[in-house]
Amino acid sequence: MVASTTTSAQAGRGGEDWSFRAEGVTKVYGGTLRANDQITLSVQPGEVYGLLGPNGAGKSTLVKQVIGLLKPTEGQIRLGPFDLVADPGAARQLCSYLPQAPVPIDSFKVREVIELTGRIRGGDRAAVRQRTSQLIEALDIGEWATTMGQRLSGGIKRLVGFSMVTVWPGRVVILDEPTNDVDPLRRRLLWEQIRLLGRQGCAVFLVTHNVMEAEKSVDRLAIIADGRLIAEGTPSSLKAADRGHLRLQVMLAPGARTPELPSWVRSHARAGHNLIAAIEEADAAQGIGWAAGLIGDGVAEEYALGATTLEDVYIRLTGHVSADDED
């Protein structure tokens, strides 16, 4: 491991292009299950890139191959001059990874564990200490700075995990559902820090199934379903195909079954009590009438008609809603 890193370290100096490129990445389990299927994408330094897709779509499998925890069955993953598949030691040094699962910090104090991780990641003591203070202040977790991890709530632990990963970040930062359990106020602070990572030149991979949040924060995104990359672009470009469409959201009464949908509904999905349907602008009046009728019949309680969002694109492409309570 040391020897391979030495070779790569020599190659990594100078003013190379540090773009990230995955080409034809395929991961097959047990000879048949294609968790990733010919995924090709590239991310530039400074970009916040969303990887969206339903649970089990293959997002985590992809990022685990980037960080060197899994080996692709086929394909290449490169970061600047480095072949991350051939050199997982370099992958670990060049990429920072916050997994979806909790970080193991029960026995550590918050400031201590952030600083230790920064030192493991190669930052010098003074700079890591300074950056730790900045993160603790920016994420508003100062009151827990000397608290042991076992006493923290899930949301604060998540923020500490984010700080551990980004206190001395790699050129690629992979964040798998970073906002899970985080309260709305600090969630906003977290997004500011994620954008700051981009401004500092990191390529940020944001793995999420929360499309609404991602839409506001990513520069570009890929939608992955059944292991395949089914769409890629900026949020605006992905929504372009849905121009001229509207989003009709109907809140169904508790216990109500999904009503029969009129033929002019282009696509739909249900999440909890919410029925989300995409309709043509020209069908707006019919849509309002239909939703009002559902309320009149006691099937629904309220409705809203608005412009399409990235989530509508996501629903159309994957057949899933991004929220956790998807039915």
Which amino acid belongs to residue 62? L
C-alpha span between 192 and 155 (Å, rounded): 17
* Binding region for another protein (CB under 8 A) out of 3-11, 236-244, 271-279, 312-320: 3-11
- Residue numbers 149-178 binding another protein by CB under 8 A: 150, 161, 168-171
Phi and psi torsions of 71, nearest 5°: -110, 130
Q: Which stretch binds another protein (CB under 8 A): 92-100, 213-221, 226-234, 249-257?
A: 92-100
Interaction with another protein in 184-223: which residues (CB under 8 A)?
197, 200-202
Task: Check residue 277 for interaction with another protein (CB under 8 A).
Answer: no
Nearer to another protein, 22 or 278 (CB): 22
In the chain, DSSP assigns E strands to 20-29, 33-43, 48-52, 74-79, 82-83, 95-98, 172-176, 203-208, 220-225, 228-233, 245-252, 267-271, 274-280, 300-307
Confirm if 280 and 245 have CB atoms less than 8 A apart: yes
Cα–Cα nearest to 5, from 84, 71, 79: 84
Query: How many residues make contact with another protein (CB under 8 A)?
Result: 58
**CB 208, min distance to another protein, A:** 17
Amino acid found at 244: G
Least distance between another protein and beta carbon 77 (Å):
12
Segment near another protein (CB under 8 A), from 85-93, 236-244, 258-266, 274-282?
Answer: 85-93
Tokens encoding 114 = 């952030």
Q: Binding marks (x or -) toward another protein, 41..80, rule CB under 8 A?
A: ----x------------------x--xxxxx---------
Q: Which residues, 6+ apart, have CB-to-CB distance to 123 below 8 Å?
A: 131, 167, 168
Residues β-bridged to residue 270: 275
Instruction: Find the binder of another protein among 36, 117, 179, 308 (CB under 8 A).
Output: 117
List the one residue from 22, 41, 52, 90 that touches another protein (CB under 8 A).
90
Per the structure block, which two tokens stand in for 301? 């309680």
3-state secondary structure of 174: strand
- Cβ at position 74, least distance to another protein in Å: 14
CA distance 255 to 250: 14
Give the footprint of another protein on residues 5-34 (CB under 8 A).
5-6, 8-9, 12-13
Where on the chain is the footprint of another protein (CB under 8 A)?
A: 1-2, 5-6, 8-9, 12-13, 45, 64, 67-71, 82, 88-90, 92-99, 101-104, 106-109, 112-113, 116-117, 119-122, 127, 130-131, 134, 148, 150, 161, 168-171, 197, 200-202
